């Protein structure tokens, strides 16, 4: 290990930056996140450095560097385009036992600045020793996606109770088990939600009896999005990875189900056309029962829980049973489908508004405000409309839309199985039948559909 990783206390640290171009500005910007006292010396300064000086964040001397500038400094960054000057400053710093970093010149660096994931007070620093900066950036991006942004609040919470926990629990092992349980349970979730007082009460109660196990779980209504796992939110993935039980429906793609915690129990409650594997009322009661048994339950729903996802009905039952819950929104199927087939839901030249409607048949009818839907300059998206397609087309034409109004059907949107067919209100039914379109399918009606061929960027045949 050539470079020893270390975190410096910057409370009284004096740092000199020689150079004031954009490269130096990036180092200054990084240093400003610390408590260091920063002095910049250069014959000229870029606008960014000048702004820092005007805001009194740094001391700026617009003149050539002098060896006396090294006086009382404890750390030096050198960022000039003069190679001889860089070497000279490096030698002076080393002679005076001052830490020195010559930017983009690793052999002249006594220390290097790592790539940082900043969730203060939680700080993660990673380094490649200057040999693989692109790989380093790639790894940092990965870390950014798996570490919750609000983990900083959890760090502050842990700091507040650290001494009390040490007083109450005598051994390192006891404290480790205690904190592992706190950080992986509902106390941490309360912190992420900003319910600090509730989290504190639970922690204090747990300290009084550390052996007491959590008696009630929680339900997370998680939107799985339209199908592409890369469209999941960070929060959705985090909760999926900590679930004890996952209750999922037919619209959750296999690729997304693969991202659930491996040892979680998985319960299928999907609904296909005219075939409800589990009635909605029983799903509601199932979620409440599982949580009351102490499980962390993820209710994984295709699309968004509150857009034709019946999430509202489910949380009403949870409230009735006194069960804690969270709702994690997602990219709804309409937005995902439209984006992946090059059909903007609104467009200045085509559509001034967009309406989502259900095309679900009940008693062989679709009870909708057809007059309100059949408007010019409006995009209509029908969920679950494949069976009712003939009625949808007939009613829209009957209430004023032209039979030539463009229409599209999108099957298995955003996944490798995506299939898109386009036509008009008068032709889309026969075109869909010839193409063998099957659920899950969305119907998009409106002038924007005419943009599909021009704007389509996602090749569903890949």
In-domain check, residue 193: yes
Same domain, 62 and 77: yes
Confidence of residue 403 (pLDDT cuts 50, 70, 90): very high
In-domain check, residue 71: yes
In-domain check, residue 142: no
Same domain, 325 and 359: no
Same domain, 273 and 203: no
Same domain, 288 and 360: no
Supply the CATH number for residue 404's domain. 3.30.950.10
In-domain check, residue 179: yes
In-domain check, residue 132: no
Rounded to 5 degrees, what are φ and ψ at 163?
A: -65, -40
Same domain, 369 and 417: yes
Beta strands per DSSP E along 48-98: 59-62, 75-78
In-domain check, residue 222: yes
Produce one character per residue of 368-402: b if its CB has 16 or more CB atoms within 10 Å, e if not. Answer: bebeebbbeebbbbbbbbbbbbebbbebbbeeebe
How many Å apart are CA 11 and CA 419, to the nearest integer? 59
Instruction: Tell me: pLDDT of 214 over 80.
Output: no
Residue 28 backbone class (left: φ over 0; alpha: ψ -120 to 50; beta: rest)? alpha
Confidence of residue 462 (pLDDT cuts 50, 70, 90): very low
Same domain, 91 and 26: yes
Confidence of residue 98 (pLDDT cuts 50, 70, 90): very high
Confidence of residue 211 (pLDDT cuts 50, 70, 90): low
Final residue before a domain boundary, out of 113, 140, 169 = 113
Give the annotated binding-site residues for NAD(+).
22-23, 43-44
In-domain check, residue 126: no
Supply the CATH number for residue 250's domain. 3.40.1010.10
Closest Cα to residue 260, out of 215, 291, 224, 218?
A: 224
| pLDDT in the model for residue 212 | 60
Long-range contact set of residues 5-11: C-beta below 8 Å, sequence gap at least 24: 5/114, 5/125, 5/127, 7/123, 7/125, 10/34, 10/35, 10/36, 11/35
Instruction: Tell me: pLDDT of 410 over 50.
Output: yes
Same domain, 327 and 344: no
Closest Cα to residue 219, out of 260, 189, 254?
A: 189
Same domain, 92 and 50: yes
Supply the CATH number for residue 20's domain. 3.40.50.720
DSSP code for 222 = E
| pLDDT in the model for residue 146 | 80
pLDDT in tens, 323-369: 999 999 999 999 999 999 999 999 999 999 999 999 876 666 788 99
Catalytic residue among 50, 57, 266, 271: 271
Tell me the residue range of the domain where 81 lies: 14-113
| pLDDT in the model for residue 209 | 81
Same domain, 243 and 306: yes
| pLDDT in the model for residue 429 | 96
Token representation of residue 457: 């960027």
Give the largest Cα separation in the chain, rounded.
89
Instruction: Tell me: pLDDT of 189 over 70.
Output: yes
Strand order in 37-42's β-sheet? 59-62, 37-42, 14-18, 75-78, 99-102
Contact predicate 206/178, CB 8 Å? yes
pLDDT in tens, 153-184: 999 999 999 999 999 998 888 888 889 888 88
Say how far residue 373 (Cα) sits from the centre of its chain: 34
Strand order in 324-328's β-sheet? 265-268, 245-248, 296-301, 218-223, 324-328
Same domain, 342 and 449: yes
Q: Please write down the HEC assignment for all residues of 401-431.
A: CCCCCEEEEEECCCCCCCEEEEEECCCHHHH
Supply the CATH number for residue 158's domain. 1.10.8
Closest Cα to residue 429, out of 381, 375, 387?
A: 387
pTM for the full model? 0.73
Closest Cα to residue 243, out of 252, 235, 254?
A: 235
Q: Report the number of distinct structural domains present in the chain.
A: 4
Instruction: Please tell me the least confidently modeled range out of 198-212, 294-308, 415-429.
Output: 198-212
Contact predicate 268/320, CB 8 Å? no
Instruction: Please tell me the least confidently modeled range out of 91-95, 129-133, 236-240.
Output: 129-133
Instruction: Tell me: pLDDT of 273 over 60.
Output: no
Instruction: Tell me: pLDDT of 276 over 80.
Output: no
| pLDDT in the model for residue 215 | 62
Instruction: Tell me: pLDDT of 283 over 80.
Output: yes
| pLDDT in the model for residue 184 | 80
Sorted by sequence, the CB contacts under 8 Å of residue 135 that are 6+ apart come out as 128
How many Å apart are CA 21 and CA 41, to the nearest integer? 11
Final residue before a domain boundary, out of 181, 208, 235 = 208
Say how far residue 147 (Cα) sits from the centre of its chain: 10
249 is catalytic: yes
How many Å apart are CA 188 and CA 218, to the nearest integer? 12
In-domain check, residue 174: yes
Give the annotated binding-site residues for S-adenosyl-L-methionine.
226, 302-304, 307, 332-333, 384, 413
How many Å apart are CA 373 and CA 379, to the nearest integer? 9
Catalytic residue among 249, 301, 395, 419: 249
Same domain, 343 and 451: yes
Confidence of residue 275 (pLDDT cuts 50, 70, 90): low
| pLDDT in the model for residue 336 | 95
How many Å apart are CA 22 and CA 48, to the nearest integer? 7
- Which stretch, 34-43, 167-176, 194-203, has highest mean pLDDT? 34-43
CA distances from 181 to 174, 189, 211, 439 (A): 11, 12, 11, 43
363 is catalytic: no
Final residue before a domain boundary, out of 300, 316, 331 = 331
């Amino acid at each position: 290990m050539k470079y020893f990783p270390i975190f410096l206390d910057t409370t009284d640290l004096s740092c000199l930056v020689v150079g004031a171009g954009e490269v130096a500005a990036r180092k200054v910007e990084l240093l400003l996140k610390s408590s260091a006292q920063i002095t910049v010396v250069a014959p000229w300064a870029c606008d960014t450095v000048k702004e820092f000086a005007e805001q009194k964040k740094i001391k700026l001397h617009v003149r050539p560097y002098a060896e006396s500038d090294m006086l009382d400094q404890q750390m030096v960054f050198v960022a000039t385009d003069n190679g001889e000057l860089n070497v000279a400053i490096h030698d002076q710093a080393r002679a005076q036992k001052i830490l020195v970093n010559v930017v983009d010149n690793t052999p002249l660096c006594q220390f290097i600045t790592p790539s940082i994931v900043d969730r203060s007070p939680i700080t993660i620093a990673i380094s490649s020793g200057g040999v693989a900066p692109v790989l380093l950036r790639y790894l940092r991006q990965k870390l950014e996606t798996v570490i919750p942004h609000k983990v900083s609040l959890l760090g502050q919470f842990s700091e507040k109770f650290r001494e009390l926990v040490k007083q109450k629990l005598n051994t390192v092992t006891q404290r480790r088990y205690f904190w592992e349980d706190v950080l992986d349970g509902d106390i941490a979730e309360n912190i992420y939600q900003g319910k600090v007082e509730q989290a504190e009460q639970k922690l204090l109660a747990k300290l009084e009896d550390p052996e007491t196990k959590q008696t009630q779980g929680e339900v997370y209504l998680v939107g799985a999005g339209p199908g592409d796992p890369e469209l999941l939110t960070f929060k959705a993935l985090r909760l999926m990875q900590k679930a004890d039980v996952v209750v999922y429906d037919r619209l959750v793609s296999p690729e997304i189900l693969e991202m659930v915690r491996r040892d979680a129990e998985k319960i299928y409650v999907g609904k296909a056309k005219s075939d409800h594997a589990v009635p909605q009322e029983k799903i509601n009661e199932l979620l409440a029962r599982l949580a009351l048994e102490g499980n962390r339950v993820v209710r994984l729903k295709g699309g968004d829980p509150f857009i034709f996802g019946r999430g509202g009905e489910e949380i009403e039952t949870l409230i009735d049973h006194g069960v804690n819950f969270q709702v994690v929104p997602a990219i709804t199927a309409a937005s995902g489908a439209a984006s992946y087939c090059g059909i903007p839901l609104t467009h200045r030249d085509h559509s001034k508004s967009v309406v989502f409607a259900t095309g679900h048949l009940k008693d062989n009818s679709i009870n909708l405000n057809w007059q309100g839907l059949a408007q010019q300059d409006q995009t209509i998206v029908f969920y679950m409309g494949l069976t009712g397609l003939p009625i949808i087309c007939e009613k829209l034409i009957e209430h004023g839309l032209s039979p030539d109004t463009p229409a599209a059907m999108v099957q298995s949107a955003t996944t490798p199985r995506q299939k898109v067919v386009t036509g008009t209100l008068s032709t889309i039914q026969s075109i869909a039948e010839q193409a063998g379109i099957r659920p899950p399918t969305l119907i998009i009606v409106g002038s924007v559909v005419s943009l599909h061929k021009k704007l389509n960027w996602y090749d569903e045949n890949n």
